[in-house]
Structure 1
């Protein structure tokens, strides 16, 4: 996905071959001669003829079928309904989205985008009062936010570690280090 270095390059010939674009000229009556040379046999039949029956026989196919034998059907099998599990997944996802929506009054539940915004905003706060206001804006308890922030954070790029490089095809890549940013709260 993405870079052209992961795609196979299509190689085309550098020069045209000597026969490219040329056609064999047909004589004026050449088409009629070709049609006369073909047997005058119909392309389709209304009834099966002996020729059709012979053409339809495939001895190798028939021998393979006879080796397989008759089909055994287990009538006690239960049908698999993958659609039920998919619908259950969609229902639970929808319920989770509804519970995390701002119009719903559930505390300590956020959708992923809101969680990312919360963690990004948390990096810039300076005091405990700002932390309390931020937690209230996102309907999350300050204790839950502190517990969550111990293990999850939004990535922060260390500007001093950005390295630009390019490969032989001229593609540029950026490599950088990210670091964990915790706000420095004034007490």
Structure 2
């Protein structure tokens, strides 16, 4: 808080610190260096270095102290390929359902779901519920499961709320 005049002025150092080194301008082109030779990563024959390493007594002692490899057979199998196949199959199925003229069973768009849930409010018997589910191509169990967690917003047109605006305008809200 407060104005700039009440704050201490920032002071920068006047001399160069010993920690900062002299900066040389960067050359636009790096100097050519001798071609690098890399050691081969694999070979068909064992080299002398590999033979010497195999005869190292300290290395063998450390390997023996580690003991045999312990494999945990209770680990779950990780099958990334299987997961990817199921993803691709699901996408393929969704694409074929989207391109077919017939609506797939138990699939609704949001506006249709809203209409269905609104109509469900006026159902009075199990037979009417089954007819409603059949008309929307749904299983009755699926409809009941969705209706347990989702509700449609209803608009009651019998009791509108009228609000007077500043200039005498009336706004009508249906709740």
* TM bracket, shorter-chain basis: 0.3 to 0.5
Higher gyration radius (CA): 2
TM-score, with normalisation over the residues of structure 1? Answer: 0.36
